[in-house]
Chains A and B, each alone.
Chain A
Amino acid sequence: MSAPRRIILPLTDELVAELRAGDRVLLNGTLLTARDAAHKNLVALIAQGAPLPVDLYGQVVYYVGPSPAPPGRVIGACGPTTSGRVDSYTPALLARGLKGMIGKGFRSPEVITALKEYRAVYFGAVGGAGALLSKCVRAARVAAYPELGPEAMHELVVADFPAVVINDIYGGDLYREGRRQYAVNDGGGVLCGQA
């Protein structure tokens, strides 16, 4: 396991081209957060040709709905949520310059194709490590849609936020490759379709 690479955000095309599935990274800078409802709103605005409340160019979106920040803290627990729920919205955001996403779980074939087309990467963060990951967040503020409560878009300033490249622009897929490396049975031959 090689040492993680420290990355200063926002992402550029050159940096994205250097990232390969399996690379561990430490992200530094500003992340935007968005879940299902915020994605729905953004994509509706794009369809109308209306301006967006945030500039997506070069940005990384983190799929997270943090728990409330107790007094004296920047944020509550803030681990990744399942990415697949926003798959249908993702290509439209990539077309607007989004360069990275952080979440957990499979992406659809359409998203994986769009990553190649628009030159963007999908990072995985450790699901269920919400307390640990909260320690990487230095500042948080609502960026859009405060009425959505836990689904509001936030801007998070992070320091050395740990993630791993799951899908790169070359078709690399860590979920598929990691599993292939360690599988000793296919569960009777009916099982390898989705991984």
Chain B
Amino acid sequence: MRTLDCKTVVEVTSRLCREANCVLEPDVVAALEMARQEEVSPTGRDVLGQLLENARIAAREEIPICQDTGIAVVFVEVGQDVRIAGGSLEAAVVQGVRKGYEQGYLRKSVVAGPLDRVNTGDNTPPVIHWRVVPGDCLKISVMPKGAGSENMSALKMLKPAEGLDGVKRFILETVSSAGPNPCPPLVVGVGLGGTLEKAALLAKEALLRPVGTKNLVGELAGLEESLRVSLNGLGIGPVGLGGRVTVLAVHILTYPTHIAMLPVAVNLNCHAVRHKTAVL
């Protein structure tokens, strides 16, 4: 049994919040650079150049990439052979978010109630997804999720008879009707199967996969590529000003489902695809 102290969890979560908001992941930088080479629209190329320059300034000067530093979505994988000492693990994650957003000069965008809309003042609580896994490690991923792309995401319970065509149509409709709002070029996370909430969670988890990596399931890799080509044919382009790069990648995760269900969730992420992971 390995022991980890809550203080370490606070410090690491805090650092992940700051880094995720100020430093673009190398795979995302590479994808944006490739997009700039592929984009045929001069305006689109100019926009992609500005986004790369923005990333350089943000990392160098520790200014957030985007002023919407999001609600913190935190994925925690707890090894079943880890013992947490010094308090509540959940409270430590929350404290880490509080500290990271305060000390990193990140925007506090969380309201206490969806209807009363009173700001909590410290960007807590985060949305935490827990998973217990074999081993003696603790893995924390922080994904600051902004409203621009989250608000254009969608979920539908399809009829099984709608099949693959129905799934493709729903993904295309979601990206098409979102247009410029979610800050394209996007990474499109798709959750297919399970139940209503499982599909939504899969779609979000799919956004954590590095851009430019292939789906390990061969048939899904093919589907992702054909969707990427279709979506880039929509013409929306970088920040919606017209162009051939509307999505950087499509990432699909699936799960077994019920004989009478076909849930499909589409979670859009802006061009920054902000997230940082640490393994303790």
B160 in the interface, Cβ–Cβ < 8 Å? no
Query: When each residue 80-124 of chain B gets 1 if its CB lies under 8 Å from chain A and 0 otherwise, what string results?
Result: 000000000000000000000000011111000000010101000
Please tell me which one of the listed residues B57, B117, B151, B270 contacts residue A132 in the complex, with CB atoms under 8 A apart. B57
Segment at the B interface, from A44-52, A59-67, A109-117: A59-67
Segment at the A interface, from B61-69, B130-138, B259-267: B61-69
B219 in the interface, Cβ–Cβ < 8 Å? no
Of residues 158 through 195 on chain A, the ones whose CB sits less than 8 Å from some CB of chain B are 162, 164, 174-175, 177-188, 190-195
Task: Known A66-B67, A128-B54, A129-B54; judge A164-B241 contact (CB<8 A).
Answer: yes
CB <8 Å contact, B239 and A124: yes
Of residues 96 through 133 on chain A, the ones whose CB sits less than 8 Å from some CB of chain B are 104-106, 124, 126-132
A90 in the interface, Cβ–Cβ < 8 Å? no
Segment at the A interface, from B1-9, B71-79, B170-178, B202-210: B170-178
A72 CB → nearest B CB, Å: 11
Alpha-carbon gap, A181 to B43, bound state (A)? 12
- Which of B51, B108, B180, B231 has the most chain A CB atoms inside 10 A of its CB? B180
Smallest CB gap from A180: residue in B = B235
A53 in the interface, Cβ–Cβ < 8 Å? no
A76 in the interface, Cβ–Cβ < 8 Å? yes
Q: With a CB–CB cut-off of 8 A, which chain B residues contact A54?
A: none
B179 in the interface, Cβ–Cβ < 8 Å? yes
Please tell me which one of the listed residues A104, A131, A187, A193 contacts residue B61 in the complex, with CB atoms under 8 A apart. A131
CB <8 Å contact, A65 and B107: yes
A84 in the interface, Cβ–Cβ < 8 Å? yes
Q: With a CB–CB cut-off of 8 A, which chain B residues contact A5?
A: none
B262 CB → nearest A CB, Å: 18
CB <8 Å contact, B176 and A131: no
Alpha-carbon gap, A118 to B47, bound state (A)? 30
Please tell me which one of the listed residues B47, B58, B108 contacts residue A126 in the complex, with CB atoms under 8 A apart. B47
CB <8 Å contact, B63 and A187: no
Please tell me which one of the listed residues B42, B119, B233, B234 contacts residue A149 in the complex, with CB atoms under 8 A apart. B119
Smallest CB gap from B42: residue in A = A1
CB <8 Å contact, A130 and B63: yes
B197 in the interface, Cβ–Cβ < 8 Å? no
B276 in the interface, Cβ–Cβ < 8 Å? no
Alpha-carbon gap, A66 to B107, bound state (A)? 7
Q: With a CB–CB cut-off of 8 A, which chain A residues contact B68?
A: 65, 79, 81, 130
Alpha-carbon gap, A9 to B50, bound state (A)? 24
A28 in the interface, Cβ–Cβ < 8 Å? no
18 pairs, CB–CB < 8 Å, chain A vs chain B: A77-B66, A79-B67, A81-B148, A104-B180, A104-B239, A106-B181, A124-B241, A127-B66, A128-B183, A130-B63, A131-B55, A131-B65, A149-B108, A149-B121, A179-B236, A187-B172, A191-B172, A195-B176
Given contacts A67-B67, A67-B69, A195-B236, 10 further A-B contacts (CB under 8 A): A64-B67, A68-B107, A127-B66, A130-B58, A130-B64, A131-B58, A131-B63, A150-B108, A174-B241, A188-B169
Query: Which residues of A are interface residues toward B (Cβ below 8 A)?
Result: 1, 37, 64-70, 73, 76-79, 81-82, 84, 104-106, 124, 126-132, 134-135, 149-150, 162, 164, 174-175, 177-188, 190-195
Query: Which residues of B are interface residues toward A (Cβ below 8 A)?
Result: 40-43, 46-47, 50-51, 53-55, 57-58, 61-69, 105-109, 117, 119, 121, 147-148, 151, 169, 172-173, 176-177, 179-181, 183, 230-231, 233-237, 239-244, 270-272
Listed from nearest, the 7 A-B pairs whose CB atoms lie closest are: A178-B242, A183-B235, A182-B235, A187-B172, A185-B233, A105-B181, A191-B176
